[in-house]
Structure 1
Amino acid sequence: MIEQAEQTVTAIIVAAGNGRRMGGIAKPFLPLCGRPVLMYALEAFAQCPLITEIVLVTRPNEMAEAERIAEGCEKMVGTVAGGSTRQLSVRAGMALASGTYLAIHDGARPLVTPACIERAVRAAFDCGASAAAVKVKDTVKVTDDWGYVMQTPERARLWAVQTPQVFRTSLLARAFDAAETAGADYTDDCQLVEAIGGKVRLVEGDYANLKITTPEDMDAATALLRKRKANA
């Protein structure tokens, strides 16, 4: 494990998607219980004591709006324009990061908690790469191109990976270099590290840590958020 004095963490919150499934509106900027989706994720990272600084990655035309949402957040170090893919957007965020570790998070996951973030970060401190995840509840089938079942994986070994995903900065930078050399593009940050032989430890996430992808997800997030506020 790296000495404590060297452990600094930059959170890179990626909010640069095109919002195709939400009518072209970027999901992190949608209103959720009267506040932008992005604001909830931003506050969770700001409240986590292990996070040193925060970088936001957005589409170029939404940078001003992101900066308005983040106004007053003392851990914010800047907003940067994302690229045409998630991989390029994370790479853009890394340009502003000074932490020895990077915590990558989807801006469209508003219900992440400081406790979940801390679990992932502490695991990365120990092994270099970690990700929040939850056990799959349903039986999963693998099919052929015609929809016929070929395999039923053992459910006990299946996880649904979430964010944050946390990496030692030097490890993720090496993984990015290898992907660019190979011309590979990944939609999951863990895949970058896996592709160079790195091991990623999964830690307990939260079933409420859903990603806003469709209008139905907004309904679910609203209900979960109201329940959370009622129990506070």
Structure 2
Amino acid sequence: MQRHFAIVPAAGSGSRFGAEQPKQYLDLLGRPLIFHTLQTLVTCPEIERVWVVLSPEDDWWSQYDWSELGSKLETLRCGGATRAASVGNGLKAAAMVAADDDWILVHDAARPCLSQAMLQALFAELASDPVGGILAVPVADTLKRADAAARVAATEPRDGLWQAQTPQMFRYGRLCRALENARAAGREVTDEAGAIEGDGMAPRLVRGDSTNLKVTYPADLVLAAMILRGRK
């Protein structure tokens, strides 16, 4: 049977949030934001191990007690300058236990509202998929393209457009090759699906939920707290 492993790249500084500390350590209901992210992954029965990839210069992690998250969680201080570099380094560390056909889930550190139901939907729809896929939601709002003066230059059709989320779930061997091919070709990829697409494959879109938001701005942190309180 194929196994499931998770990688959480957490080497970023969260500069768009505008806080003095990296946003993954901002307080969310009395815990660091990333605690909620990791808790969902380590409590999922299908996931055998969770690697959180930190910057080698991260001084924040050791200030908190993570023991409640249990033995599934492992820290790797090999984060790179980009998401792709951090994920790639995490994949190298995973080579000790992951086989080519095992599933790797890559999840954003700043998505603390992932639910077990979303994970189960991802597992169910991708179990026999030849490529893998991602959680995503159809774009609901009208999209405007701006010009250099921040005025509307065009209205973009939203038909067929989806907003990518995480986790993004692909076979270990395939994801390693896709990221390496992107690096060798000098292609910048902002998510794992982009690397897979660059190898000529089409990841499956698994419908997620708008509550699986990424905390990017201060208002997002307020929304995340409301979502988590509502679930309790």
Q: Is residue 2:17 matched to residue 1:12?
A: no
1:37, distance to aligned residue in structure 2 (A): 0.8
The residue identity in structure 2 corresponding to 1:40 is H
> Which consecutive residues of structure 1, in runs of 5 or more, have no partner in the other structure?
none
Q: Aligned in 2, Cα 1:66/1:118: closer, same or farther, shift over 3 Å? A: farther
Over 3 Å counting, the alpha-carbon distance change for 1:63 and 1:49 in structure 2 is farther
Distance 1:67 1:95 in 2: 27
Shift in alpha-carbon separation, 1:107–1:154, aligned structure 2, 3 A = closer
C-alpha separation between the residues in 2 aligned to 1:10 and 1:65?
21
> Aligned residue for 1:75?
72
Q: Which position in structure 1 is the counterpart of 2:162?
A: 159
Residue 110 of structure 1 aligns to a residue in which SS? coil
Residue in structure 2 matching 1:206, options 202, 205, 209: 209
**Whole-angstrom CA distance in 1 between matches of 2:89 and 2:64:** 20
State the alpha-carbon separation in 2 of the partners of residues 122 and 148 from structure 1. Answer: 41
- 8 Å CA contact 1:18–1:24 kept in 2: the answer is no
Query: Which of residues 135, 153, 158 in structure 2 aligns to 1:148?
Result: 153
Q: Is residue 109 of structure 2 the alignment partner of residue 107 of structure 1?
A: yes
Q: Quick one: which amino acid aligns to residue 19 of structure 1? A: G
Give RMSD over aligned pairs. 2.1
Instruction: Return the offset for 1:67.
Output: 9.1
Count of matched residue pairs? 222
- Pick aligned residue for 2:49 from 53, 60, 82: 53
Displaced runs of 4+ in structure 1, greater than 6 A?
Answer: none
For residues 153 and 142 of structure 1, the distance between their equivalents in structure 2, rounded to whole angstroms, comes to: 11
Q: Give the letter aligned to residue 107 of structure 2.
A: H
Partner secondary structure for residue 67 of structure 2: coil
Match of 1:43, SS state, is: helix
Inter-partner Cα distance in structure 1 for 2:63 and 2:170: 25
Alpha-carbon spacing, 1:90–1:69, altered in 2? closer, same or farther (3 Å): farther
Check if 1:180 corresponds to 2:183. Answer: yes
What secondary structure, in the 3-state scheme, does the structure 1 residue paired with 2:169 have? strand
Q: Contact 2:25/2:60 (CA < 8 Å) preserved in 1?
A: no
Give the secondary-structure state (helix, strand or coil) at the position aligned to 1:180.
Answer: helix
The partner residue of 1:194 within 182, 197, 207 is 197
Per the TM alignment, residue 209 of structure 1 is displaced from its structure 2 partner at its CA by 0.7
1:123 CA drift (Å): 3.0
Higher helix share: 1
Aligned partner (choices 17, 21, 27) of residue 25 of structure 1: 21
* Equivalent position amino acid for 1:10 in 2: F
SS at the partner of 2:196?
helix
Q: Do 1:48 and 1:118's aligned partners in 2 also have CA atoms closer than 8 Å?
A: no
Q: Which moved more, 1:161-170 or 1:176-185?
A: 176-185
Q: Give the conservation status (yes or no) of the 8 Å contact 2:54–2:75.
A: no
